Structure formats: C-alpha cells, structure tokens
Structure 1
Amino acid sequence: MQTAALAVTTDDAPQFPLPANTHAERVVSVTHYTDSLFSFRITRPAAFRFRSGEFVMIGLPNAERPVFRAYSIASPAWDEEVEFYSIKVPDGPLTQHLQKIRPGDTVLMKHKSTGTLVLDALTPAKRLWMVATGTGFAPWASLVRDPETYEKFDEIVVTNTCRDVADLAYGDQLVAALEADPLIGELTAGRVKYVATTTREASPQMGRITTLIENGELFRLVGCAPFDRATDRVMICGSMAMLKDVKALVEAHGLEEGSNSKPADFVVERAFVG
C-alpha cells in the first residue's frame, strides 16, 4: 500500500492525503492569454515518461477526493517540465480553481499518460496534418516540437481555429518560435506550415476548418492537393462536433483511422475535448 503524503497549494491551505498513483508537482509558471485561456508549466517527476501527443489526468490538492480531468500534455517528451494549455470555465469543477494557480502552488498529476494522438498510430507519409480548434491545439504544441515528427514526415501542417484573434495567441507564439528553438530549429526550418483562422472576429483568414476543407481553401492556402492516402496523415483534436465532422471529411477522402495497435492514416483524440 502506498504511504500517504501531503500536498498543499499554499502553506496555510488544508492538507489532504496524496491520492494513490499521483505526483504532487510545483507550478513553475503561468501565462494568461485571454479571459478564457491560459497555459502553465509544472515540475516533471524524474520517473514520468510519456509520448508526445498523450494526455494525463491532473487535479488540485483542494479536497480529500480531488477532481481530476484529462489534459493533453503540451510539452514535448524531451522537456524537463510538463506544460498544459487550458480553457477557463467559471463553474468548472476543476478549471474554476485551476485558473487561479500561481508559481509555487501544487498541481496533482497521475503517474500514467495515454492517448491516441501519437506518431505510433500513424504510418509514415510525406505530410502530417494537425487539425485543431480551441485548446485542442495542446497536443500539436507537443508534437510539433518533437524531433521524431520530422523523422517520419517531410512536411507538417498545423491548423488553429478559434472564435477570436486573441484566442490564437498561444499557437501563434509557439509556431513563430520554432525555428529559433536550439534543439529542433534546424529540423523545422521551411517544413512547418501554419494556418490560423477565426470564426467570429475578423482576421486575415476566416472560416471553420470544416468549411475550408470542403471548399478546398485549406489546400489552396497550403499549396497542395486534397487529402490523399498516398501522401497525407491527419491528427484531429477539438470539440466533439468538430471531431465528428472532420473525421467524416477525412474518411470521404479515403483515409482510414489508425490506432496504437494498428497504425493507419488518421487519428482522433478519444478522451480530450478542447
């Protein structure tokens, strides 16, 4: 039986036993992008291993039985810290408290990560599409900074669709910094194409990702032909409706869904909804 340990967010906060199979980690930094979006980084346990694109259950030590939710890991597998990208839900069981964390506070993280948005679930091809809406961008933040992604694919297309321009900030900043990254900068140079669109506020490129796929605008922006099994692999993460619609469009182009046990042409996040 695991020995109970104490994990608290502040020195004067109530103390509760640490749940089994759970790490208690320190918040390193927090960045707020809008009133509804923020990212944060926590210390990484020495024994914690994950594949880029996976998710893990996280919570806060604010109750004897804390609430845990699945969060895609936004940092790549080589990172010394663990990064997350989150929405702020005013009355959310977890996020109403999580959005208030500060450096030095404690976040709980389960020992085991898992997920379908991993490179192992896809067969190699020329081009990898990472299609996201909202905080569904988080796994792309991990994968686009992983050297293995560039070993398996020649071109990477990252899409980021949100309602307003400010909501694109996390993805905009991350992609803009890729070529200056000392570890993967040389790998990414000239190989990453980024398509950021808005659905409500006016911006240089507007439109729902489903519309841009259907009318061909997405492929015109990237400068390539529509999805083709011979050249393209697709990863999809976002709202439940978006997952369903984009999956149908990808299948209409002849691509088949893959898994860890049977790699194929596209994958959909089965647990995380941005």
Structure 2
Amino acid sequence: MSTAAMQKTEADQDLEFPIPPGVFAERVVSVKHYTDRLFAFRITRPQSFRFRSGEFVMIGLPNAAKPVFRAYSIASPAWDEEIEFFSIKVPDGPLTQHLQKIQPGDTVLMRQKPTGTLVNDALTPGKRLYMISTGTGIAPFASLIRDPETYDKFDQLILTHTCRDVAELKYGEELIAATREDPLIGELTEGRLHHFTSTTREDSPQMGRVTTLIENGELFKALGTQPFDAAEDRVMICGSMAMLKDVKALVEKAGLKEGSNAEPADFVVERAFVG
C-alpha cells in the first residue's frame, strides 16, 4: 500500500463520513488564535503533495456527506514539511464557523490540486517586488517571502499589510521576525525584506488604506522608494475586493501590465476568498 493510501486509511478510521475522491485527510498540528476574527493553523503535509509558493488549495472539514470546500492560500513555503493557513472567522460562514473551532489532532480535508496566480512564474524579472495585502490576504506572501526562489528573482521584497486594528497585524509581524531568523533564508532577507503596516480604525504609527497611501505617496516615502515604475517594479495584490480593484487601477495607471501563469508580466491579482 502506498504512503498516501496508508495516510488516508488511518485518517478515515475515526471519521463519520467517507473522504471524497481526490482529497487528502490531514491532521491539525497546531492552532493559534490572534484575535476574535483571525487565526492560523498548521496541518500535516502529504508526502505526494507539491505546490508552488503563493498558490492556494481548497480545504474543508469531514463534517458532512458533501463537505463544504473553500479556497485558502498556503502560507507555508514550498519546502516546509507542514502546511500552514491563515484564516478569518466568519460567524455564519459555511466553512469558517466550524473551522475556527479546530484543535490539534482534528482532521482537515484538502483537495490534491493547488493553483493560483500569486507565483513567481507569473511575473517577469524586476528589481523589487511589492506584495500588497489586507487582512488574511497576507497568507500567500507568507509563503513567498520564505522561498529562496523569490530572492533569486528580485533584489528587494516589500510586504505591505493593512488591517483595521493593531492586533490584526501581529501575524505579519511574527512572520517577518521568524523569516529574518530562519536558518535557511535568514541571510537572504538582510537589507532586502521590508515590512510596511497600516491600520484603518485603531491608532497606529501609520494610518490609512493602502490605496490612499499609494496615491498620496506616503507608502513610497516611508519605504524610501519611488512611485511604481514598470521598468523596475513588480506587484502582487491579495485582500479585500475593494482593495484589489483600487490597487489594480493604480498600478495599471503607472503602466504595469497584468500577468498570468501563461503570460508573465508586471503584476498579478489573487481573487480566491473564504467563507
């Protein structure tokens, strides 16, 4: 029996419902709640599972004959031995109302085929990579900033994270600190990985929507960079629908062209959401 088959059989033993075809059943390794709206969790990684840093996958719970699956960006890098996710808590969300209650040892279902546009392959080479996120939209960038390939392709990595409150920025702050101390890629980040945060409700050192901070130049002033330049800058965007629309318009106005896996270009947008 293959390793994957053994994992599936073992995981299936204590499940009330059978595992759908094309789905892994994995154990929850750890869970961390950041606020009453945000939490992160890690699950075991199937030996046969391969993905590119920045991709998303469909996940669900074994709590129904036809479980609800939602798209979740993988927050761990492609080399990690576990799979990490960063999730919002939706009180009446078909999936997240149950997912937010998981504990170590529980089972999470994961479809076997990852996909997504927030990958290095969808961008042409450039000097600096802006990764612009709101809320849990930081997840794919948590994967990319921990991947050596990203540092091979860009001289500078700039991760922006905008949330309503200061506490919601903590995941990103811990992420940056851990990445800089990581034995595999810590040295690569020195002087090259930059983190910019802002809040829209609670007072913090930097206030405002990221779109406003791009338009008024405060983002570039704080980073010591120039406004978007299609010759040097590449941009990835992930977060709320309003932010995606507004930032896309701003980068297009600056002359950047949208790319894809089939046709790499200057910027990419992720439109996968959870609920």
> Do both share a fold (TM > 0.5)?
yes
Question: Partners in 2 of 1:7 and 1:75 — Cα distance?
Answer: 22
Percent identity, please: 74
| Secondary structure of the structure 1 residue equivalent to 2:236 | strand
CA deviation vs aligned residue, 1:32-88 (integer Å, no higher than 9, x gap) = 000110000000000000000000000000111100000000000000000000000
Question: Partners in 2 of 1:253 and 1:22 — Cα distance?
Answer: 42
Question: Partners in 1 of 2:124 and 2:16 — Cα distance?
Answer: 47
Equivalent residue for 2:237?
236
**1:6 and 1:18 in contact (8 A); partners too:** no
Question: Partners in 1 of 2:9 and 2:30 — Cα distance?
Answer: 24
Q: Which moved more, 1:244-253 or 1:175-184?
A: 175-184
Question: Which structure 2 residues correspond to residues 121-270 of structure 1 after superposition, within 5 A?
Answer: 121-270=122-271
Q: Which moved more, 1:38-47 or 1:173-182?
A: 173-182
| Secondary structure of the structure 2 residue equivalent to 1:53 | coil
| Secondary structure of the structure 1 residue equivalent to 2:243 | helix
Question: Partners in 2 of 1:214 and 1:18 — Cα distance?
Answer: 49
Question: Unaligned 5+ residue runs, structure 1?
Answer: none
**2:70 and 2:273 in contact (8 A); partners too:** no
Equivalent residue for 1:73?
74
Task: Return the offset for 1:251.
Answer: 0.3
CA gap 1:62/1:7 in 2 versus in 1, 3 angstroms: farther
Runs of 4+ in 1 over 6 A off after TM superposition: none
**1:7 and 1:106 in contact (8 A); partners too:** yes
Equivalent residue for 1:23?
24
CA deviation vs aligned residue, 1:178-229 (integer Å, no higher than 9, x gap) = 2210000000111011101000000011110000000000000110110001
For normalisation by structure 1, the TM-score amounts to 0.95
Question: Partners in 2 of 1:113 and 1:18 — Cα distance?
Answer: 18
Question: Partners in 2 of 1:273 and 1:133 — Cα distance?
Answer: 14
CA deviation vs aligned residue, 1:18-37 (integer Å, no higher than 9, x gap) = 10100000000000000110
Equivalent residue for 1:63?
64
Given residue 69 of structure 1, which amino acid in structure 2 is its aligned partner? R
- CA root-mean-square deviation: 1.6
| Secondary structure of the structure 1 residue equivalent to 2:48 | coil
| Secondary structure of the structure 2 residue equivalent to 1:17 | coil
Equivalent residue for 2:42?
41
Task: Return the offset for 1:171.
Answer: 0.4
**1:55 and 1:272 in contact (8 A); partners too:** no
Given residue 208 of structure 2, which amino acid in structure 1 is its aligned partner? G
For normalisation by structure 2, the TM-score amounts to 0.95
Given residue 174 of structure 1, which amino acid in structure 2 is its aligned partner? L
Question: Unaligned 5+ residue runs, structure 2?
Answer: none
Question: Partners in 2 of 1:124 and 1:273 — Cα distance?
Answer: 30
Question: Partners in 2 of 1:178 and 1:220 — Cα distance?
Answer: 25
Given residue 258 of structure 1, which amino acid in structure 2 is its aligned partner? G
**1:74 and 1:141 in contact (8 A); partners too:** yes
Task: Return the offset for 1:272.
Answer: 3.4
Question: Partners in 1 of 2:118 and 2:255 — Cα distance?
Answer: 20
Question: Partners in 1 of 2:180 and 2:69 — Cα distance?
Answer: 35
Given residue 27 of structure 1, which amino acid in structure 2 is its aligned partner? V
CA deviation vs aligned residue, 1:131-160 (integer Å, no higher than 9, x gap) = 000000000100000000000000000000
Task: Return the offset for 1:270.
Answer: 2.8
Task: Return the offset for 1:176.
Answer: 1.6
**1:257 and 1:266 in contact (8 A); partners too:** yes
**2:70 and 2:274 in contact (8 A); partners too:** no
Question: Partners in 2 of 1:86 and 1:124 — Cα distance?
Answer: 30
Equivalent residue for 2:108?
107
Given residue 38 of structure 1, which amino acid in structure 2 is its aligned partner? F
**1:240 and 1:273 in contact (8 A); partners too:** no
CA deviation vs aligned residue, 1:101-153 (integer Å, no higher than 9, x gap) = 00000000000000000000000110000000000000010000000000000
